[in-house]
Amino acid sequence: MSVQGQAILKPGREKAIQNMHPWIFSGAIDESRSKLSDVEPGGIIDVRDSRGGFLARGYYNLRSQIRVRVLTWDQNEALAPAWWRVRIAQSIRAREPLEAQGDTSAYRLVYAESDGLPGLVVDKYNDHLVVQFLTLGVDMVKQTIVDALVGLLKPAGIYERSDVDVRQKEGLQDSAGVLYGEAPPDPITINEFGVKYPVDVYTGHKTGFYLDQKDSRRWLLTNPAVRGADVLNAFSYTGSFGVCAALNGAESVINIDSSEPALEAALQAMSMNGLSTKAEYINVDVFDQLRQYRDDEQSFDVIVLDPPKFAHNTSQVEAACRGYKDINLLAFELLRPGGYLLTFSCSGLVEADLFQKVVFGASVDAEQQAQIIGWLNQPSDHPVLLTFPEGRYLKGLVCRTTAF
């Protein structure tokens, strides 16, 4: 792809790009000096400092607040189809240890900016790939990316799940369907640490499964604290935490979710692992149910709180923190002495320190002393580029209540 124009940054706005952060916002660009009028949406442009010096090269979208997403800081690097193949191959190669370990048949192959491929997500489910083209720039080279994936991996099929809200900010419509080969089974049955999970890549959240909670599932699958415990899995979705707890010898498991189809998938997951009688499924609002348990003086040994994203933009952070405090307060009130709370936030705008302070406030209001005995994060197939801390969105705490 040839360079179609250039963006000149305002004086003093070069530092982030010099530090190799891949986003350039509209407010950093000097529109009067830039040459952008002939750039097609999603076209490649050069980014220069206020004195005209080369900084980076990436794709441009006038409709997005993130005007430029950087692909390279090398002025001599041509962004031809071969470039996309090489960069995708590098990302796949970085996951080869996961393939060699053989403990899972599903993981993330490409994680957007953190793998130097802004706007592109590729997940592997057995022999099928599920892809998301989240930005205009990658949407324009969709076929180039599909060809590269086919050539590198020879999958049974590639299915697109570009049906997320972020595309609207890019001026794009939702898009889903088979891009290559066979349509995926419905569901796909994946294997992780010997556990079977049904995955609906057609309508399931994200690309069908929460691949980012792999390490958290392993905690529930292997920790001795779960054995013989009464486990409450709130915001359970398709019940993967509950399956792990049951396989690890939990005395009882309750899955709560507001989605009936999600709970039906949870029951299916339990059944395919020989656990059809090990859990209860409650289709209600989680906040209401936790309050009901508190009023009924019911208690649990292990509680998992994995709610959906509460903050989608900065204006929602304060309200999100109130929501996190509310559910964690209720959870602390429901925990037995020496009980365990696994609590998560997937809101990228709620930073880890802030989330920990919110959980601290909840423990104080619940009059529960608690220790953090572990931190849970997204696994190695969701790496966080040091120059792009926004890639870290999942935060989890393992808290244990104490007797003092």
* Cα gap 186→190, rounded to integer Å: 12
List the catalytic residue out of 244, 321, 346, 399.
346
Single out the residue of 268, 223, 216 nearest to residue 249, CA to CA. Answer: 223
Q: How far is CA 98 from CA 101, 102, 108, 132, 150, in A?
A: 5, 7, 10, 21, 20
Q: Is 244 a catalytic residue?
A: no
* Cα gap 290→232, rounded to integer Å: 10
Are the C-beta atoms of 379 and 214 separated by less than 8 Å? yes
Active site residues: 346
